[in-house]
Chain A
Amino acid sequence: GENVEQHPSTLSVQEGDSAVIKCTYSDSASNYFPWYKQELGKRPQLIIDIRSNVGEKKDQRIAVTLNKTAKHFSLHITETQPEDSAVYFCAAAWSNTGFQKLVFGTGTRLLVSP
Chain B
Amino acid sequence: DVKVTQSSRYLVKRTGEKVFLECVQDMDHENMFWYRQDPGLGLRLIYFSYDVKMKEKGDIPEGYSVSREKKERFSLILESASTNQTSMYLCASSFRAPPGYTFGSGTRLTVV
Query: Residues of A with Cβ closer than 8 Å to B?
Result: 2, 6, 9, 31-32, 34, 36, 42-46, 49, 51, 89, 93, 97-107
Does any Cβ of A come within 8 Å of B70's Cβ?
A: no
Judge whether A43 and B105 touch: CB under 8 Å: yes
Judge whether B41 and A100 touch: CB under 8 Å: no
Partner of B96, one of A9, A51, A100, A103: A100
Q: Return chain A residues, CB-CB under 8 Å to B50.
A: 100
Give CA–CA (A43, B106) in the complex, Å.
7
A99-B97 contact given A43-B105, A44-B90, CB 8 Å threshold? yes
Judge whether B48 and A101 touch: CB under 8 Å: yes
Judge whether A89 and B99 touch: CB under 8 Å: no
Distance (whole angstroms) from the CB of A12 to the closest CB of chain B: 17
B45 closest partner in A (C-beta): A101
Distance (whole angstroms) from the CB of B57 to the closest CB of chain A: 11
**CB-CB nearest 5 A-B residue pairs:** A106-B42, A32-B98, A99-B97, A43-B103, A104-B43
Q: Return chain B residues, CB-CB under 8 Å to A2.
A: 59
Q: Return chain B residues, CB-CB under 8 Å to A45.
A: 103
Distance (whole angstroms) from the CB of B7 to the closest CB of chain A: 15
